[in-house]
Structure 1
Amino acid sequence: MVSSTSEPTVVRVSQKGQATIPKGLREKFGIETPGEVFVYEDEGRIVVEPVPSPDELHGIHAEGHERGEATERLRELRDEEKRREAKRAERLRPSEDE
């Protein structure tokens, strides 16, 4: 059975504050298990982002790269995710006709 990763899923939070990221989302975003993710607040929402793999950041400190380039790439990835989330929120928002 193929499941959609764009529909909200209810996830239980344990007494220790732990929640499991659904398998479809882990696979889609390349989150390894065990692994690490960034977790932060943005505009009143909790955001979970995969930490870029060493391959994605390979050579970032090599000659010819500017200082802060890795940070800028992370910002680009976060901005891209924000745009996807905004589109998703717009789709889920009830229309004024309803």
Structure 2
Amino acid sequence: MPSSTRDPEIVRISQKGQATIPKSLREKYGIDTPGAVFIYEEDERIVVEPVPSLEELNGIHSSDDREPGDVIEDVREIKREERRREQELADRLRPEDADDE
């Protein structure tokens, strides 16, 4: 039975403060190993986001009139839109009788 990404998993923190992202989440979000992720605090939570590939950025650095922080906000917006589309697709594919559970 596949686990939901909403079901929390316990991850141990090493003495160096290192944690391992579970394989199922790395695969789902395309986090390569070795690789890099963004990590930041938002609404009293620690958020981990994959660093987008160069293809996903698709010219995001091409403008010279960007302010510091604009690129990361653009990346976050791309990711939000991607998650929204994935959720819409999941909702469409979910069997109608799943709402009755």
CA distance in 1, matches of 2:8, 2:21: 12
1:42-90 superposed Cα distances (whole Å, 9 cap, x missing partner): 1111110001111101233458xx8467444323146x39x98xxxxxx
Runs of 4 or more consecutive aligned structure 1 residues displaced over 2 Å after TM superposition: 1-6, 58-63, 66-73
Residues 13-28 of structure 1 correspond to what in structure 2 (within 5 A)?
A: 13-28=13-28
SS at match of 1:47: strand
Tell me which residue corresponds to 2:12: 12
Letter in 1 for 2:17: G
Contact 1:57/1:70, CA 8 A, preserved across alignment: no
After TM superposition, list the pairs within 5 Å mapping 1:1-98 onto structure 2: 2-62=2-62, 67=66, 70-77=71-78, 80=80
- The 1-side partners of 2:46 and 2:10 are apart by 14
**What's the TM-score, normalizing by structure 1?**
0.65
Counterpart Cα distance in 1 of 2:20 and 2:48: 11
Q: Which runs of 5+ in 1 are unaligned?
A: 85-98
Contact kept in structure 1, 2:57 and 2:75, CA below 8 Å: no
Percent identity at matched positions?
Answer: 64
Shift of 1:26: 0.4
Larger RCO (alpha carbons 8 Å, 6+ apart): 1
Aligned residues between the structures: 81
Instruction: Give the counterpart letter for 2:18 in structure 1.
Output: Q
Q: Distance in 2 between matches of 1:40 and 1:56?
A: 20
TM-score, reference length from structure 2: 0.63
Q: Which amino acid in the other structure matches residue 43 of structure 2? A: E
